[in-house]
Structure 1
């Protein structure tokens, strides 16, 4: 991660799995971080989580001045957010809770602060309704583990100013992330909608007895997943079209899209299906605990990120060269 002459301070509201990921990410980039969470025992859990993530941040590279000592915990939202340039909300995924907390943040945040929600599905126009200054609010949706995965989806609502999105984009880049600005808000944003489509199809395949959970995982690990880590679905299919690329791909295989290979709606989540998925997942994990699997995943991601950056340092040119048009101007 690059050090800069001035690193913004960040406030994290909600210190669950996603909140802890944000804390580790910002600390590693040299930020001062203030966190708050009203849950009993939240501070102890938060500090354990950040300490567990820290070795992986060290492997990825720390900014100058990065330190765990720059983390402060407080019991109140007011104290946490009053001095922060960026405020990241990560409370439970319930509209009523998020709107109440965001209104509280908005009341106490400094005038030039950017307020962001990590929501995975709620639209920004919905969440900013109770804010007195909705123009400085946007969705900044990350992916678990936040401290390693660099993608963050930025989505403004109907009242969000373009300058808020631009400022947020710069801050997240300073934190070593790859911001993807989404110009049109939609439930689930982009990446989660894609993952949900695959998840629904995976459930159908298991439910219909076509393959086990382990076989579905293997199909991704040793097939599509290896390609997607570098190129994504569109570039993968572009290569599948040979010398003429996507032009030939769509001409040759486009008609097959009409074939009923996939199912759009999720299957009914019966008790039988739930048990199949649970038992299959536990069997796939074997004797390893979740903590051991997380450690293995993190070690893999560190190596994979190095490889991705070696072959494609800027996988999405739109992340850096997108048009600066004031599409969210209030």
Structure 2
């Protein structure tokens, strides 16, 4: 890994190899193309080219900087089914394979041998440690986790995670690269299973399922509660700042010693729902009744609202 500054490194990274054309990979492809990068797509899916082009039609209106022409975006695309050839000229590799450690170890062993020595090698994994994934790489210190929050072309967060063997310079370069494509990277201070954002999401999902399973609310009503309260709040302030403000002029110090004094007792009341067949069937039935099964329409509605929120927050900062 070179010792160049992060800013100069990110400025010279012009070709990105995206490994995998699933939901996350498709979002990365759109984002990278929107920032003028050349994108080489490597996928085992025989219909990968059609899927990517269809996805660009869906995501083009919701990219940073405003809507784009899908045809112009596609001009920066190349499709290369051979992994070694796909990464051979890449400045950045963003891997998006299924969460299978053995599969990722094999991929990164091959990527590590075929990619240029100075290439930034990134993984979108949501659970795995970079040390474990890069165990068979010639230089596992080059591998950094860059875990996005779906959809990666809209939601700014990228969790950057290093292992014990990761070169600190690689982490700095990963942060600079993600900033250069208008993402908001946060470096986790140590690796933990499922990282941070998904653990928070999982905790809320567990209680959401409990409330639905117990008949307190329906799936649709639960979503209404979140989007009209804590979801709106969390778009502007995080949990700690929210309760810091909840304490009034005394801040978090006051809140923790008054309203927050019974936190542990309250946590004991939280549900631990069983994900049995009846629960799963009920959740699916309610979700399909409330929202239907048109994926494209739901994506457009979601991304329209999310980009509107981001635009409003950006205006509020100005």
Q: So what's the TM-score if we normalise by structure 2?
A: 0.91
Q: 1:241 aligns with which of 232, 240, 247?
A: 247
With over 3 angstroms needed to count, the CA separation of the structure-2 counterparts of 1:279 and 1:262, relative to structure 1, is farther
Please state how far the C-alpha of 1:177 moved relative to its aligned partner. Answer: 0.4
Q: Are 1:25 and 2:31 counterparts?
A: yes
Q: Are 1:203 and 2:209 counterparts?
A: yes
Q: Are 1:308 and 2:313 counterparts?
A: yes
Q: So what's the TM-score if we normalise by structure 1?
A: 0.88
Q: Are 1:77 and 2:83 counterparts?
A: yes
Deviations 1:238-271 (A, max 9, x none): 1111111111111112321122445677422111
Q: Would the aligned equivalents of 1:8 and 1:171 in 2 still touch at CA under 8 Å? A: no
Count matched residues: 306
| Counterpart-to-counterpart distance in 2, 1:165 and 1:67 | 28
**Secondary structure class of the residue paired with 1:210:** coil
Please state how far the C-alpha of 1:61 moved relative to its aligned partner. Answer: 6.6
- What is the 5 A alignment of 1:94-243? 94-243=100-249
Please state how far the C-alpha of 1:60 moved relative to its aligned partner. Answer: 2.7
| Counterpart-to-counterpart distance in 1, 2:153 and 2:188 | 22
Q: Would the aligned equivalents of 1:201 and 1:262 in 2 still touch at CA under 8 Å? A: no
Q: Would the aligned equivalents of 2:13 and 2:92 in 1 still touch at CA under 8 Å? A: no
- 1:327 corresponds in structure 2 to none
Please state how far the C-alpha of 1:7 moved relative to its aligned partner. Answer: 4.8
Q: Would the aligned equivalents of 1:11 and 1:35 in 2 still touch at CA under 8 Å? A: yes
- 1:9 corresponds in structure 2 to 15
Q: Would the aligned equivalents of 2:64 and 2:154 in 1 still touch at CA under 8 Å? A: no
Q: Which runs of 5+ in 2 are unaligned?
A: 1-9
| Counterpart-to-counterpart distance in 2, 1:216 and 1:262 | 21
Q: Would the aligned equivalents of 1:197 and 1:264 in 2 still touch at CA under 8 Å? A: no
Q: 1:289 aligns with which of 267, 280, 294?
A: 294
| Counterpart-to-counterpart distance in 1, 2:116 and 2:143 | 13
